[in-house]
Amino acid sequence: MPTKEERLFLENIQPHKGIIYKVSRMYADTAEDREDLVQEILIRLWSSYGSFEGRSALSTWMYRVAVNTAITFLRKEKGKPRIIGDDSPALLTKAFETDSREETRLALFYRAVKELNPVEKALIFYFMEGISHREISAQLGISENNARVKLNRTKEKLQRIIKTYGYEFE
Amino acid sequence: MNLNDLQEAWDREDGGENELRLNAAVLKEAHQPIDSIRKNMKNELYLQLAAIALLAYAPFYYGISGKLLMAYFTLYGLLVTVSGHYFYRFTRFFGKLHDYNANAKDSLYELYYEIRLHCEMYKSLTYLLFPFFLVIGGIIGYNKRTQQLPHEPLFSGDLDWVILSVLSIFFTLIIIAATNRWVNHFYGKHAKSIRKILDELKE
């Protein structure tokens, strides 16, 4: 049974739970790892919650803790293949050809993101969240110019990866 | 279509009906480098602690007495003091929470130096303990030898001293090499992967 403090904490972060799920989907390859990463992020958020002073928005703080946790996340059983089941590019591309739903495109996007390095994943995540270059630079601890250059390069790299699946993002 | 076209689907991603639940029991293994290092180092330090505790009984088991017993426990006292200091520092490391609130670069640097620092501490503890174990082993061996052959001199000539010195140096070098390899293989790899991420953040 969660304590009163835990319940209050979970209620507060519930409206922003998408942050946790999206970061987990970007950084973990298997369903099992995703579940573990969600839990790992929640635990880090909970243990840091006392030091959150409310000087920034709750979501800004959550971005930081979630990305910091995911960047150094260790996968389970490293010997396992990274691509599994319905996440494979061939299946996703086939699904894309027959079904143009946004979810399928998003699945293809997530599949391509998995080929990026941890910093590139963070940049794309912040970009998709609509975070400004200035804010990305503050979250990652790099200069604004560096954030802009790296983000542009990462977007190009992502498009190149998607192209290898037989599809093209403009 | 470009990445902006995915925005609507991306914004809808909120984990669906899933309720957030804190459940640390789900995590069956350490998923953070610092947790993995702490878990393994803790187990190894417990073994070293057990070995040190066992050494307190060695003189009684081997029948060491008199001045040799005094020398043994003087050395043992030093061993306990030195290792006590290190174990205290390791205990603080095991209990310290890593700061995930900082920006990614600061958080990673802190993690990197924390791991490097404790790898070096772990190595220096092993280097420090080894001479103690060597001398304590020597005392036990000397005692056994004098009990079995009380009237024969321990060393028959200068060559024996040379052999003893060469063997000590040889074993010390083996221990240093083995410790370095062990620490770099099991713990250093985490520092290396964090260093790689930090390099990605460079201008």
B25 touches chain A (CB under 8 A): no
Question: Distance (Å, rounded) from C-alpha A75 to C-alpha B197?
Answer: 16
Which residues does chain A have within 8 Å of residue B1's beta carbon, measured at their own beta carbons? 105, 169-170
Specify the pLDDT at position B191. Answer: 93
Q: Judge: A142–B201 Cβ closer than 8 Å, yes or no.
A: yes
Residue to substitute from A62, A104, A119, interface B, most B β-carbons within 10 A: A119
**pLDDT for A100:** 58
Q: Which of A48, A120, A142 sits opposite B100 (nearest CB)?
A: A48
The ipTM assigned to this model is 0.84
Would an 8 Å CB–CB cutoff place B203 in contact with chain A?
yes
pLDDT band at A84 (very low <50, low <70, confident <90, very high): very low
Asked if A25 lies within 8 A of B2 by C-beta distance, the reply is no
Q: Which of A12-21, A64-73, B22-31, B55-64 has the lowest mean pLDDT?
A: B22-31
pLDDT single digits (tens) B118-128: 999 999 998 88
Say if the Cβ atoms of A40 and B7 lie within 8 Å. no
Contacts of A20 in chain B (CB under 8 A): 15, 20
pLDDT at position A151 over 60: yes
Gyration radius (Cα) of chain A, Å: 17
d(CA A134, CA A143): 8
The band of A85, judged by pLDDT with boundaries at 50, 70 and 90, is very low
Q: Count Cβ atoms below 10 Å from residue A16 Cβ, excluding itself.
A: 19
Which residues from chain A sit within 8 angstroms of residue B189, using beta carbons?
A: none
Per-residue pLDDT reduced to its tens digit, A92-130 = 555 555 555 677 788 889 999 999 999 999 999 999 999
Any idea what the Cα angle at residue A124 is, between residues A120 and A127, rounded to 5°? 140
End-to-end alpha-carbon separation of chain A, Å?
49
Structure tokens at A131: 């975070």
Given pLDDT bands bounded at 50, 70 and 90, which one contains residue B183? very high
Query: Is it the case that residue A50 has pLDDT exceeding 90?
Result: no
- For tokens 């003893």, what's the residue? B164
Q: Choose the closest CB to A40 out of B6, B20, B31.
A: B31
B102·A61 Cβ contact <8 A: no
pLDDT at A77: 61
- pTM for the full predicted model: 0.84
pLDDT at A83 over 50: no
Would you call A127 and B3 a contact, using CB atoms and an 8 Å cutoff? yes
Provide the percentage of residues in chain A whose pLDDT is more than 90: 59
Q: Is A25:A73 a contact under the CB 8 Å cutoff?
A: no
Chain A CB contacts of B39 below 8 Å:
none
pLDDT at A167 over 80: no
Residues of chain B positioned with their CB less than 8 A from the CB of A121? none
Among A138, A143, A169, select the one facing B2 at the smallest CB separation. A169
What DSSP character marks residue A130? T
Q: What is the pLDDT of residue A78?
A: 56
Give residue B16's identity as a one-letter amino acid code. G
Above 80 in pLDDT, residue A170?
no
Supply the CATH classification number for the domain A88-170: 1.10.10.10
Nearest partner of B183 among B125, B117, B122, B109, judged by Cα: B122
Q: Above 70 in pLDDT, residue A79?
A: no
Min CA distance, A20 vs chain B (Å)? 8
Cβ <8 Å between A64 and B101: yes
Mean of pLDDT values over B25-44: 84
| Interchain pair A119, B30: CB under 8 A | no
Mean pLDDT, chain A, rounded, equals 85
Note the pLDDT of residue A145. Answer: 96
CA distance B128 to B130: 6
In sequence order, the 6+-apart residues with CB closer than 8 A to the CB of B65 are B59
CA distances for B52 relative to B21, B36, B81, B136, B143, angstroms: 43, 25, 11, 11, 20
Domain boundaries, chain A: 1-82, 88-170
Residue A129 near residue A63 (C-beta atoms within 8 A): yes
In CATH, A1-82 is 3.30.470.10: no
Cα dihedral B59→B65→B67→B73 (10° resolution): 30
Q: Does B24 touch chain A (CB under 8 A)?
A: yes
In this prediction, residue A89 carries a pLDDT of 59
Contact B2 A170 (CB under 8 A): yes
B3, B108, B196, B197: best mutation site toward chain A, by most A Cβ within 10 Å? B3
Q: pLDDT tens-digit profile of B112-148? A: 999 999 999 999 998 888 888 888 888 888 888 888 8
pLDDT, mean of residues A75-91: 55
CA distance A98 to A113: 22
Query: Hey, are the CB atoms on B200 and A117 less than 8 Å from each other?
Result: yes
Contact B22 A106 (CB under 8 A): no
Task: Tell me the percentage of chain A whose pLDDT exceeds 70.
Answer: 84
Size of interface A-B (CB pairs under 8 A): 144
